[in-house]
């Protein structure tokens, strides 16, 4: 698919305070990052796969990134990223994020009512 949206597959790992990769459309991780989430670029090489236009190649690259992540010291990463993962979860439930997600919809509705 070629649309960006927050689904339960994106929200669940954030709510569970996990690091995550996305098998989504090109630029999906960048979109999540632009919304204000920490995507842990210092541990995960999202640039390697996130902008790949060919979906098959993007998935293969994503699997390579998973393999490289798996070779790292996962418990150390877990402890080092604790506060950042908590911040992501907190942001997920914030009014700031709600405004980002719903403001365009509210504006569209208001414009539709006025015109």
Residue appearing with tokens 């842990």: 40
- Over residues 54-74, the mean pLDDT reads 97
pLDDT digits (tens, 9 = 90+) for 9-22: 889 999 999 999 99
Residues above pLDDT 90, as percent of the chain: 72
Indicate whether 1 pLDDT > 60. Answer: no
- Over residues 25-53, the mean pLDDT reads 95
Q: Left, alpha or beta for 80 (phi > 0: left; psi -120 to 50: alpha)? A: alpha
Q: What is the pLDDT of residue 49?
A: 97
Q: How far apart are CA 60 and CA 87, in angstroms?
A: 30
């Amino acid at each position: 698919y070629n649309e960006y949206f927050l689904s339960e597959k994106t929200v669940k790992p954030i709510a569970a305070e996990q690091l995550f990769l996305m098998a989504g459309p090109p630029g999906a991780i960048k979109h999540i990052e632009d919304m204000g989430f920490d995507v842990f670029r210092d541990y995960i090489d999202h640039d390697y796969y996130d902008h790949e236009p060919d979906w098959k190649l993007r998935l293969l690259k994503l699997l390579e990134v998973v393999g490289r992540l798996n070779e790292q010291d996962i418990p150390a990463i877990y402890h080092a990223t604790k506060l950042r993962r908590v911040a992501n979860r907190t942001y997920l439930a914030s009014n700031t994020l709600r405004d980002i997600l719903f403001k365009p919809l509210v504006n569209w509705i208001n414009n539709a009512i006025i015109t």
